[in-house]
Amino acid sequence: MKLSKTTWWMIGGSVLAVSGIGLYLLLSKKKKIAQKGSISMGNSVFPKQDTPASVTQTATVKEEPNWGKPFNYGYIDDVKAWVAPKTLKELPRVKAIALAKKLKEAKGTFNDDEKAVGNVFGKLLRDKTQVCSVSRAFYDVYKKDLWQHLDSFLSVKEMQTLVTNPVRKLPNYQS
């Protein structure tokens, strides 16, 4: 196969263009590395690291908890991290298990006890961290998600009036 002069010029030009782009990228990468080195070398305004004049501080970013999801198992841990120096008023484990038992027994074979569910979420729980404690206790004891359990025997309207609305009105935590 014989190539024409035009084809040779096109191949040569393409090779030259690709080589030029590669050389540009290589040199720009070396330049970035050199600039980073000059900052750590002390050629800028900042002092060298490990000198008496340098001060190193680490910053931590606190991620705000998802206040609308108190049935999640990690909710209470997120809130504890959010209010880190303060301590939370937590629901005692024994009381959380007792409330979980009440919610488990609220589901009946023929007749459900909606009043018990309304009583737990409307009167007995004081904040959303306590809702999380009961949810955790329910899962630990019965190996089932509390929300799924309630959803299995309450209608949509009952879930709204007995669970969702009272929980939304609760404060996020108490310290």
pLDDT of residue 150: 93
Whole-number pLDDT of residue 49: 60
102 and 160 belong to one structural domain: yes
Domain that holds residue 22: 1-35
Decide if 144 is inside a domain.
Answer: yes
What is the structure's pLDDT at 163? 93
Residue 45 lies in a domain: no
> Does residue 63 sit within a domain?
no
Amino acid at 174: Q
Quick one: 84 and 138 in the same domain? yes
Residue 175: per-residue pLDDT: 82
Question: Given this model, what pLDDT does residue 109 score?
Answer: 84
Alpha carbon distance 70, 55 (integer Å): 40
Give CA–CA dist 121/169, Å, rounded: 10
Q: Are 57 and 66 in contact (CB under 8 A)?
A: no
Decide if 68 is inside a domain.
no
Assess whether 79 and 163 both reside in one domain.
yes
Model pTM score: 0.63
- The stretches in the chain having pLDDT less than 70 are 1, 35-62
In a domain, 12, yes or no: yes
Maximum C-alpha span of the chain: 93
Q: Is residue 70 part of a domain?
A: no
In a domain, 94, yes or no: yes
pLDDT of residue 161: 95
Write down the pLDDT at residue 132: 92
**CATH number of the domain encompassing residue 134:** 1.10.220.10
Output the pLDDT for position 168: 92
User: What is the number of domains present in the chain?
Assistant: 2
Give a yes or no: residue 60 inside a domain: no
Spatial distance between the Cα atoms of 112 and 162, rounded to a whole number of angstroms: 13
Closest to 135 in 3D by CA, of 120, 155, 115, 154: 120
Question: Quick one: pLDDT at residue 76?
Answer: 87
Q: What is the pLDDT of residue 64?
A: 76
Q: How many residues does the chain have?
A: 175
